[in-house]
Structure formats: structure tokens, C-alpha cells
Amino acid sequence: MKKHKRDLAHRYYLKGYQASIQRRSLTTCPHSVDSNAAYHWCRGWREGREDFWAGFNQQAFQQKVINL
């Protein structure tokens, strides 16, 4: 089994990061508010939004997601 399937926190983080790249709102988090999954998803979303504001282009986003 690959590591990314075992590490759910990292998966939630990546999904949140990808959501921010697609310019989806923070309120679209698919997890309940007080859950661990929501925490990691929102953390990824916030980092993706910071990268967007810093001027990353689509290619830089994709490269960062691959390297995470």
C-alpha cells in the first residue's frame, strides 16, 4: 500500500490545497467543523491561498502539489 493512502492527514491537506488552487471558498470544506480532517483540509487551503496571493502561477502550483 502506498504511503499517501495510509497518511490521511496529508491527503486532507492536499485536498484543501487543491481546492484553494481551484479558487473554491473555505466554506466548501467537506468535513465537519470540529474534526481532525477539517483542520488539515483548512490548513492546506490556507497555504494554497497564501501561495496564490504570493503570485504562484498554475505550473508552480502543480509542481508544489507533486512535491508535497
Reported as a single tens digit per residue, the pLDDT across 37-48 is: 999 999 999 998
pLDDT for 62 equals 74
CA distances from 57 to 35, 45, 66 (A): 31, 16, 15
Percent of the chain with pLDDT over 70: 93
Name the percent of the chain lying above pLDDT 90: 24
Q: Look at 31 and 60; give whichever has higher pLDDT.
A: 31
What is the predicted pLDDT for the residue at 46?
93
CATH, residue 58: 1.10.10
Residue 30 DSSP class: -
Q: How many structural domains comprise the chain?
A: 1
Instruction: Kindly report the pTM of this predicted structure.
Output: 0.78
Domain hosting residue 58, numbered range:
3-67
